Amino acid sequence: MVSLIKTPDTRNKYWKPFEGKTKNHRKIVEVTYRSNANSDYTEKIQELEKNFDYSTNSDYYWTEPEQSLLYGTPLYKAASPTQKKALNHLYWVIQNNNTAASEVNTIIYNQVTAGVFEAVGGYETLCRELELETSQEYHHIHAFQKIGYKTKVALLGKKRFSNSLDGKSNKSTQKNSFFSQYQDSALRFIAKMMLKNKDYCSSRYLRELEKKNEFFPTPTQGSGGRFAPPSLLKFFTLNWGSSPFLACHYYALRYISNALLKSQEHPRSQYFKKLEKQGEFISAPTAVSHYHFLDESFHSTTSQIVGQDMYKDFPKPTAYEKFVANVAVYRAQRHVINYHGGLSSGLPARCFHDDSFFMSFIYQLLQTPLFEMSSREALYWMEKCFCQEHEGFEIASKYHKGFVSDFRRFFDRLDYLWPVNREMRLIDSGDSVAEGFQSSIKTFKQFSSSVTCGNG
């Protein structure tokens, strides 16, 4: 990992901060860094991961029941107490597998953008905070993957599912090729031409990759993988690593991931506190979620202060910078928050994925020893879950409305955004129960047809 706190001798040759505007948010960054550095939440997560044993935690819910796979469906209501707990545990695993993938993105882009801030100069504390966050994310990822893997092995066996669901890390970058090299060169040329007056602040992280003839990192998992295809993501990477304004804007986008994670982990943290107050047993995964929520609260503060306030330190964005920023938020609405425009009835508290994302997983799950169904029985129960209205759709709608309200409050403060982005119009168009219901019916029919043909 590249150190983020080296400051070049020319740091203020081309730019000086507007001190009157920066005083308050600099203080918040300093307080956030000190608090984060003095906390021991990451160490507690490491200890919980080290000692995790599924059998010790298997007889307890890891969060409130509504954060369970298939919650509110006819199948969930018919499930045994043991099966309901297993569905609760698998939901935790799936959610945190996605969280781990998104935190790989954070590791990459903390380094990309911190390289800009160190080149500008005067943001040493922020760079230290980003370096600390990056170190924490490595430990978070390791804990989620290890606990998730042990849980799935205990419930489902080692060879039941594909790599995307077995707790193993997936490659997050494209393979190098001549075309990739040509594409990188072309995109680099465009970014430098459009941001030619900002050569002084190009990210050291990206410049060092150039010197080594290495390719820019291109995540294919998590929020980054949903945000844009590899070629377009490289273009955004170049811009985030070449402009102080766009480096700040990246944190407005990062806030989306912070808020989506908060929607999951705040209820888990509240569950932890409830158990603690009542003197009841607290499972290791519940505690991990609680301490991760506390760690990530520092990261969310960073996203807010940089994304909402720090960009005002710099000259007003050019028409090109505004365009890049608005296209990024538009894509985030379409592909990160409102994935495929549907609500999930299978993962009801995670409504930014529709049911096509994991239909095959549910089908395989019902045929494991956990449920012992035949293929025909699995499809019968899946039809009842995905083609009939039930409580799961209502819970998905509740979470989605919360997202819309939160994101509107955040993005309304960004004066450079188009109305469609500032008002979050795209994500407000697909949150109805009726639309989610119709989407689930269509998805199930397509999946069932493919399974029937395959078995025929």
The candidate with the shortest Cα–Cα distance to 313, out of 114, 22, 29, 27, is 22
Kindly indicate the confidence band of residue 77, based on its pLDDT and cuts at 50, 70 and 90. very high
The string of DSSP letters for 266-306 reads HHHHHHHHHHHHHT----HHHHHHHHHHHHHHHHHHHHHHH
On the question of pLDDT at 158 being above 90, the answer is no
Highest mean pLDDT among 33-42, 378-387, 397-406: 33-42
What is the per-residue pLDDT for 92?
95
Reported as a pLDDT band with limits 50, 70 and 90, residue 231 is confident
254-304 pLDDT, tens digit per residue, is: 999 998 888 889 999 999 999 999 999 999 999 999 999 999 999 999 999
Least confident of 155-169, 230-244, 366-380: 155-169
Highest mean pLDDT among 37-46, 158-167, 210-219: 37-46
pLDDT exceeds cutoff 70 at 159: no
Which helix or strand (DSSP H or E) is residue 134 part of? helix 124-156
What are the φ/ψ torsions at residue 403 (nearest 5 degrees)? -60, -50
pLDDT for 351 equals 47
What integer is the mean pLDDT of 373-398?
84
pLDDT in tens, 172-198: 444 445 555 566 566 667 766 777 666
Question: What per-residue confidence (pLDDT) applies to 191?
Answer: 67
Q: To which residue do tokens 């953008």 refer?
A: 113
* Residue 9 confidence (pLDDT) above 50: no
Q: What is the mean pLDDT of residues 349-363?
A: 68
Contact between residue 66 and residue 348 where contact means Cβ atoms under 8 Å apart = yes
- Residue linked to tokens 């029985």: 377
pLDDT (0 to 100) of residue 211: 79
Residue 437 has pLDDT above 90, yes or no: no
Would you say 346 and 362 are in contact if contact means Cβ atoms under 8 Å apart?
yes
Q: Which of 36-40, 162-166, 193-197, 261-265 has the lowest mean pLDDT?
A: 162-166
In order of 4, 14, 334, 378, the CA distances from 139 in angstroms are 19, 38, 30, 37
Phi, psi for residue 87 in degrees, rounded to 5: -65, -35
Does residue 57 carry a pLDDT above 60?
Answer: yes
Mean pLDDT over 380-399 rounds to 80
- The whole-number pLDDT of residue 7 equals 44
Exposure string of 279-296, with b = 16+ CB inside 10 Å and e = fewer, is eeebbbbbbbbbbbbbbb
Which of these, 107, 109, 410, lies nearest to 246 by C-alpha position? 109
> What percent of the chain is modeled with pLDDT above 70?
79
The whole-chain average pLDDT of the chain stands at: 83
Q: How many CB atoms lie within 10 A of CB 27?
A: 12
Confidence (pLDDT) at 432: 58
* CB of 291 closer than 8 Å to CB of 383: no
Question: d(Cα 163, Cα 171) in Å, to the nearest integer?
Answer: 11
User: How does pLDDT run across 104-125, given as a tens digit for each residue?
Assistant: 999 999 999 999 999 988 999 9
pLDDT for 439 = 75
pLDDT at 346 > cutoff 70: no
Indicate the range of 305-314, 367-376, 427-436 predicted with least confidence.
427-436
pLDDT of residue 202: 80
**What ranges do the domains of the chain cover?**
23-455
Lowest mean pLDDT among 13-17, 100-104, 172-176: 172-176
pLDDT at position 16:
54
The conformation of residue 105, written as its DSSP 8-state character, comes to: H
Q: What is the pTM of this model?
A: 0.87
Least confident of 324-333, 408-417, 442-451: 442-451
If residue 27 lies in a helix (H) or strand (E), which one and from where to where?
A: helix 19-38
